[in-house]
Amino acid sequence: MLPALIRATAAVCALALPAAAAAANDPLRPDQPNLSLIESDGARANSSTGKGAIVAIIDTGVKRSHPDLQGGRLLQGYDFVDNDGDPQDEVDGHGTHVLGIVGAAEGNAVGVSSVAPGARLLPVRVLDNSGAGFIADVAKGIDYAVSQGAHVINLSLGSDVPLLGALGGDEYDDAIRRALAAGRVVVASSGNNGAPACEQPAASDGLICVGAVNNSGTKTSFSSFGPGLAITAPGSEVLSTFADNGYTRISGTSQASPHVAGVAALLVAKGLRGQEVANRLLATARDAGSRGPDSVYGAGIVNARQAVAGFAPDGVAGPRPKGAGRSAARISLRSPASIRSILRRGVRVRCRAAGSGRCRVAVSRRGRRLAAGSRRVTLGRSAVTTARLNRRGRALLRRALRRRKRITLRVRVALPGSRPLVRRLKLRP
């Protein structure tokens, strides 16, 4: 067992195609049902291309000479395998494929289309020619992407030993947390082991864990799912650029993740950042499987058209559409409630999160904390969190009960994947 070893999460390399002749605009677009599934053409109708956004692809590098990656949007990047400024993807092809899904040139009469053809692309090589690498290099790559101004970071990476900590460790998790704290969007593949949990250890900290569906919108057999999964995207037989300057179909959650990273870039171009982007992705996903968020599809299948709906075209100032920064998180609590019940049981809040993590409840009055509590929650499932009264809270409620006085408390709930939610709790004697 090599606990620091990681690999790219591609499942199948099924079909290699020669570079297309420049006979028509994106002649291979009809062979990309993945883009139709996420309605990328609908996003383009809103003049949404991701222009102004920077997406870092932390992977095997990029084949710079590929004809569908020309046009000046490909940034220099860095190679943490050879420790130089030339992150070339010469053999493996995984990074070139992932990068092409995000931002291959569009309307250039060559090859394929992409999710965010206006975004700038930052290649960061952390995997060698066999698609393997080390956690330390990935952590360096994440920090580098932040330092270079990347708005979105894509991690199409998986573990040789899933769920046993091979992809975990403080270096990796801490680098992701630093990126999230810096307001970056971090998108990662859920894994190809069909495991009942996202194979990204930082999935509960705000990272967007992406599972794979086929072109009919059904979960693939290889896609890992369960706790930590945030959203799904196409990951079956996805056609994209490859290191031989041609095009190849590959299946894997590695291919699902860049679809979400690309839609994130479209939202960055609209002025959203960090958690706002994550919230919008989850809130506008197309529902799949059980009604509402669930452990198989997360919030649903990412939808580019709906994500940018209501925004002005790229480069045009305009108001944000209603709910642009809103998430799929929900809370409920019974109000009014009796003072006796709160003294006996505390303040109970039912939390439904837009991601996995902790539901934290704080109860106050006139700025003074009266009760607090937290509980771990999983995306797609509701859980009741109880805030227990402190000494001040118990004294206040007992005094109100003796005087037969009604009071109102402020309940603040912090949930993963959303802004804090605030409710008023009315109490009667």
Residue ranges covered by each domain of the chain: 5-308, 330-428
Binned average pLDDT, 10 residues per bin, the chain of 429 residues: 50 41 70 97 91 96 96 96 94 95 95 97 94 91 96 85 44 89 93 87 77 96 90 97 96 97 96 89 91 89 94 72 61 90 94 74 94 81 89 95 94 77 92
Q: Tell me the two tokens of residue 17.
A: 């195609």
Which among 101, 125, 118, 48 is positioned nearest to 260, based on CA atoms? 101
- pLDDT at res. 294: 87
Cα angle vertex 191, ends 187, 195, to 5°?
130
**Cα angle value 71/110/31 (rounded, 5°):** 130
Q: Return the active site residues.
A: 59, 94, 254
Give the span between the Cα atoms of 282 and 286, in whole angstroms.
9
Beta bridge partners, 192, equal none
pLDDT score at 255: 97
Identity of the amino acid at 37: L
C-beta of residue 54 within 8 angstroms of C-beta of residue 148: yes
Q: Give me the pLDDT at residue 171, please.
A: 86
The pair phi, psi for residue 224, each rounded to 5°, is -75, 155
Q: Which fold has domain 5-308?
A: Rossmann fold (3.40.50)
pTM for this predicted structure? 0.77
Determine the Cα angle at 84 with ends 81 and 85, to 5°: 120
For the domain covering 330-428, report its CATH number: 2.60.40.10
